[in-house]
């Protein structure tokens, strides 16, 4: 049963597991040694679980104790976060979530995120900060943003990165292009016509990766036009400056079409990113939310190979 368990007791267990010394653990939680001792003892009796082996040379965590202690630590941490968030929500003191995003991510992702955030924390504002990925990361560093949704790759040693979407890259062309009647294209036949790219300085590491991807298929990248927004890219395509690689899910201007590329499996990956300081009260929740929904969406939709990002759902 879940009774006979107190959060106070969890703190006792945590302290005892850390110090392996009831006396010092008792000091740490500001009670008499006998209290802590007897509480843990009584708990062990009632659930018939030996957490600590009392040996001649001191205490030792049993295997069961390790399991329970890690539960204790976890739960206490989560409760702190929960209480902080609940208080902030109640007092209407949740700071606006300053969310950076690149214009190259799928707008539906943002929409979904907004809905879910609103559902979880009604009345809590989101401040949207458009900006290219590099700028987003710099702002995260400067604590001018709490988190961001941007295309991968992102250096995961410097930020907390969580992939939240993936969709194929396709070739964007005019609907009167000579290749328009082809259902799909070979990368070799279109590669040299792909000349429109995101401005490399908007996301240097993504561009580097793109260069690598082209190198892997044995084609040097030919950057002739650098665009700073998806609509600029489409405009350039329409104006016959060349072809472009875009996320399959990008809404298309009239007069443009996309064609998949046979023989490659290039994808546009999107991630939720935040700095490790975890400034915003809601971040732990958002993080858990994405962890769960991300695996949940895989779970509910894997049979068909292409994963669509609009699969995020609110989880209880």
Partner DNA sequence: TGGAGCCATAGACAAAAACTGTGGCGAAAT
Partner DNA sequence: ATTTCGCCACAGTTTTTGTCTATGGCTCCA
Whichever of 176 and 305 has its CB closer to a second copy, that residue is 305
Smallest distance from a second copy to CB 314, Å: 11
Q: Kind and range of the H or E element at 143?
A: none
| Distance in Å, CB of 264 to a second copy, minimum | 5
- The entry of DNA, a second copy, none that residue 33 binds, CB within 5 to 8 Å by partner kind: DNA
3-state secondary structure of 266: coil
We find the least distance from the C-beta atom of residue 86 to DNA, in angstroms, to be 18
Out of DNA, a second copy, none, what residue 85 binds, judged by CB under 5 to 8 A for its kind, is a second copy
Structure token digits, residue 265: 């499996």
Which stretches within 91-147 are classed as H helix?
107-120, 133-141
Helix (H), strand (E) at residue 53: strand 52-55
Q: Considering the rule CB under 8 A, would residue 42 count as an interface residue with a second copy?
A: no
Q: Which stretch binds a second copy (CB under 8 A): 34-42, 131-139, 146-154, 245-253?
A: 146-154
Is residue 55 a contact residue for a second copy (CB under 8 A)?
no
Sign of CA dihedral 123, 125, 126, 128: positive
Residue number with CB closer to DNA (1 or 142): 1
- Least separation in angstroms between residue 89's CB and a second copy is 5
313 in helix, strand or coil?
coil
Q: What is the nearest approach in angstroms of a second copy to the Cβ of residue 206?
A: 11
- Closer residue to a second copy (CB): 254 or 316: 316
- Find residue 186's DSSP bridge partners: 262
- 187 lies in the binding site for a second copy (CB under 8 A): yes
Give whichever of 56 and 90 is closer to a second copy, judged by the CB atom.
90
54 binds a second copy (CB under 8 A): no
Residues 208-267 that bind a second copy (CB under 8 A): 209, 212, 216-218, 260, 262-267
Give Rg (Cα) of the chain: 26
Q: Among residues 20, 50, 125, 180, which is the contact residue for a second copy, using CB under 8 A?
A: 50
Residue 56, number of CB atoms within 10 A of its CB? 4
Q: In the bound complex, what is the minimum distance in angstroms from residue 231's beta carbon to a second copy?
A: 28
d(CA 121, CA 96): 11
Per CB under 7 A, residues contacting DNA are: 4, 6, 8-9, 20-24, 30-42, 54, 56-59
Report the alpha-carbon distance of residue 170 to residue 250 in Å, rounded.
10
Per partner kind, with CB cut-offs from 5 to 8 A, the member of a second copy, DNA, none near residue 23 is DNA
Structure tokens at 254: 């009239």
Give the separation between CA 209 and CA 76, rounded to whole angstroms.
Answer: 41
Q: Please give the Cα distance from 179 to 166 (Å, whole number).
A: 26
Question: Helical H runs in 148-221?
Answer: 187-190, 204-216
Q: Does 76 bind a second copy (CB under 8 A)?
A: yes
């Amino acid at each position: 049963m879940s009774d006979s368990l107190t959060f106070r007791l969890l703190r006792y267990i945590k302290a005892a597991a850390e110090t392996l010394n009831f006396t010092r653990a008792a000091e740490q939680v500001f009670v008499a040694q006998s209290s802590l001792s007897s509480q843990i003892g009584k708990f062990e009796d009632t659930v018939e679980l030996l957490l600590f082996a009392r040996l001649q040379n001191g205490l030792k965590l049993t295997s069961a104790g390790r399991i329970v202690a890690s539960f204790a630590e976890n739960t206490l941490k989560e409760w702190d976060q929960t209480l902080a968030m609940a208080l902030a929500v109640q007092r209407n003191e949740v700071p606006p979530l300053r969310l950076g995003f690149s214009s190259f991510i799928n707008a539906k992702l943002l929409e979904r995120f907004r809905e879910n955030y609103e559902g979880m924390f009604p009345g809590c504002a989101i401040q949207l900060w458009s900006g290219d990925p590099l700028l987003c990361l710099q702002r995260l560093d400067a604590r001018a943003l709490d988190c961001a949704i941007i295309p991968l790759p992102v250096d995961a040693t410097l930020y907390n990165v969580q992939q939240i979407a993936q969709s194929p890259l396709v070739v964007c062309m005019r609907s009167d292009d000579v290749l328009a009647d082809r259902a799909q294209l070979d990368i070799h036949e279109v590669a040299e016509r792909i000349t429109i790219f995101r401005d490399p300085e908007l996301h240097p590491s993504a561009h580097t990766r793109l260069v690598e991807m082209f190198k892997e298929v044995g084609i040097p990248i030919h950057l002739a036009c650098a665009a700073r927004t998806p609509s600029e890219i489409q405009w350039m395509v329409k104006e016959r400056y060349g072809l472009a690689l875009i996320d399959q899910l990008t809404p298309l201007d009239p007069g443009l079409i996309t064609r998949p590329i046979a023989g490659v499996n290039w994808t546009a990956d999107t991630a939720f990113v935040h700095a490790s300081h975890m400034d915003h009260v809601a971040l732990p929740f958002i993080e858990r939310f994405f962890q769960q929904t991300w695996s949940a969406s895989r779970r509910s939709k894997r049979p068909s190979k292409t994963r669509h990002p609009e699969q995020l759902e609110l989880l209880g």
